[in-house]
Amino acid sequence: MNVRNAVSNGNAPTVISTFAGCGGSSLGYKLAGFRELLAVEWDDNAVETFKLNFPEVPVYHGDITKLTGSECMRLAGIGPGELDVFDGSPPCQGFSTAGKRKFDDPRNSLFREYARLLKELQPRVFVMENVTGMIKGHMKQAYLTIIAELRACGYRAKGEVLNAMYYNVPQSRERVIIIGVRNDLGIEPSHPKPQTRPIPVRTAMVPCVDIPSWQMDVANNTKNYAVGKELLKLKEGENLYNLSRLDRNKPCPTICKRGGNHVRCLSHWTECRVMTPAELSRLASFPDEFLWIKKGRHDSDAFENVWARIGNCVPPNLMRAIATHIKENILTHA
């Protein structure tokens, strides 16, 4: 389906997306037949990418802590209680198992901005996505705090761990999905059941054509990808430190934003190079016509930007499944 032609009609259920990034969630809602009224995002590259692909959606380009509920509703053209779904993926690095997982990490507090807007907008349903690190070990305290605060906004809330590889995404990516339904609707929140078998990398990559200048040859030690000698030691499907050679017969491991010693660098299963932007896009379930900002001071800068956008996003097909479930099993009864 063409991204820019999948326009929802005026009677479609509505959604506002906070921490919208490049539009992974937004595309999922759009493909499920929703009409997005507003996207909230502060990152310049993410906003530029979003606007390329969703020119019809208004964007609040700025700090969410400065966005009031009244301004959010004004921009979206709605009043309290009129929105169908309020969506958001507050930054999760403070919870991630790839980091130090400190409960008081300032990046963990942004969910309170999400909750603040939720309380003011009072949508029928909310969806909040985050990493599974928030429910593991001592970080479970953070999860319980989040659930309690969301329920205090006037919602029945329930969280489940969903793996994108069971929802038509060729990537094993576990995320906590919290769905809430406004108390007055009298409906219990629920989640979509697994829909597909895992899709192997080889299936997702046929065919996949990329721009040649974006082919990062790891063996030649191109800028930050100086792992050629280590990569040559790896067989298909093997890992070494933060380097992984993909197994063509399995889904891709979780794609994370590059940077740091704990973030896995994903390489081709036979060729001595990292995966290209077009390949990463496929592995995150973006359609080939989705547009990326392929510019920067250097090719590698543009490459890092695309990797960051994909590593931070909710895979569109995962959100499409969630949005479709909400539309068919919750909103139709609200």
User: Residues with Cβ < 8 Å from 209, sequence gap 6 or more?
Assistant: 278
For 218-239, what is each residue's pLDDT tens digit? 333 344 444 566 677 788 999 8
Left (φ > 0), alpha (ψ -120 to 50) or beta: where does 310 sit?
alpha
Q: Does position 97 have pLDDT exceeding 50, yes or no?
A: no
Q: Kindly report whether the global pTM for this prediction surpasses the value 0.85.
A: yes
Q: What pLDDT, on a 0 to 100 scale, did the predictor assign at position 96?
A: 47
Comparing 59 with 134, the larger pLDDT belongs to: 59
For 15-70, what is each residue's pLDDT tens digit? 999 999 999 999 999 999 999 999 999 999 999 999 999 999 999 999 999 999 99
Comparing 300 with 285, the larger pLDDT belongs to: 285
Give the type of residue at 246: L
> How high is the mean pLDDT of the chain?
85
- The C-alpha atoms of residue 185 and residue 156 are separated, in whole angstroms, by 10
User: Residues with Cβ < 8 Å from 175, sequence gap 6 or more?
Assistant: 129, 130, 131, 132, 161, 162, 163, 164, 314, 318
Question: Which architecture, in CATH terms, is 201-312?
Answer: Alpha-Beta Complex (3.90)
For 167-218, what is each residue's pLDDT tens digit? 999 999 999 999 999 999 999 999 999 999 999 999 998 876 554 444 444 3
For 36-50, what is each residue's pLDDT tens digit? 999 999 999 999 999
For 137-147, what is each residue's pLDDT tens digit? 677 777 888 89
> Could you give the residue numbers annotated as active site?
92
Say if strands 243-245 and 239-240 run parallel, antiparallel, or are unpaired.
antiparallel
Q: What pLDDT, on a 0 to 100 scale, did the predictor assign at position 37?
A: 98
Q: What pLDDT, on a 0 to 100 scale, did the predictor assign at position 296?
A: 61
Domain with CATH 3.40.50.150 in the chain: 3-197+315-333
Q: What pLDDT, on a 0 to 100 scale, did the predictor assign at position 211?
A: 43
Type and span of the H or E element at 285:
none
Which CATH fold topology does 3-197+315-333 show?
Answer: Rossmann fold (3.40.50)
Domain with CATH 3.90.120.10 in the chain: 201-312
